[in-house]
Amino acid sequence: MTENDGIGSARSEAVAFAPLVSVRNYMAPEHLWSARYAARMCGEIEGRLKGTGELHRPHRSYVISAVLSSVAFMETYINEVLQDLADSEPGEIDSRCAGIAEQSAAILREMWNPPGERIGWLERASILDKYRVSLAACGAEPFEKGAWPYQSAKKLIDLRNALVHFKPETQVSGEAHKLEKALKSEFASNQIFSEPLSPWYTIGCLGYGCAEWSHTTAAAFIDEWQARIGLEKDYKDEMGQYDSP
């Protein structure tokens, strides 16, 4: 055996007996932090440029980021809870899912990861359906589709979808776009431009009011869901460990 062979053998042996460390990451609070940060930056720019009529690219970027990150928070949070339930053994619910009874956890576990299937139908369901089904499985009070906070959350997701899957369309002056009809009463229009704004979507829509509404809507929806389902751990516990956005 050569000297180099000996070194190689020693290294291999050390690696073979090295302790394994398992890490489980969670992203939901980071998405919410990102949305809040983007909203703050958007507000600072809009305050400086109020009434100037300047189409400011970083300002628009921050609004869009706030919308996308807010919906990402909603989707990631429910995925994290349901995945933790699916990965837990019967009778040994993860502390992050404390408050959910084992009987309810078993139902959700079956829908998320049914035996013999790689992906269950619940994992493929829409964001809002995941929240609705989880409430039903736990025997909790359901959301009313036409009322707060469900309706606001749906509008936020619709806006995210419109931005992500954007298609150009001709807007006729004086005719309100469907997103204008749905959203204009939800938040203040972009203050960089003077009223009346045409087209409101996407010029008037994409402002600080929209950015701020996005993350507050997402958080309010999650807060209400947590309260109804009886989840003991709160995402705000982790948010409290972050620097202020």
What does the pLDDT look like over 200-220, one tens digit per residue? Answer: 998 999 999 999 999 999 999
* Residue 11 clears pLDDT 60, i.e. is over it: no
**Which of the four pLDDT bands, split at 50, 70 and 90, describes residue 90?**
confident
b/e burial code for range 62-93 (CB count within 10 A of at least 16 → b)? bbbbbbbbbbbbbbbbbbbbbbbbbebeeeeb
CA distance 52 to 122: 48
What pLDDT was estimated at residue 153? Answer: 98
Question: Residue 137 contacts by C-beta under 8 Å, 6 or more apart in sequence?
Answer: 104, 107, 108, 111
How far, rounded to the nearest angstrom, does the alpha carbon of residue 169 sit from its chain's CA centroid? 28
For 149-200, what is each residue's pLDDT tens digit? 999 999 999 999 999 999 998 888 778 899 999 999 999 999 999 887 778 9
Higher-pLDDT residue of 149, 9: 149
**Which of the four pLDDT bands, split at 50, 70 and 90, describes residue 10?**
low
CA distance 65 to 214: 10
* Residue 13 clears pLDDT 70, i.e. is over it: no
**Which of the four pLDDT bands, split at 50, 70 and 90, describes residue 71?**
very high
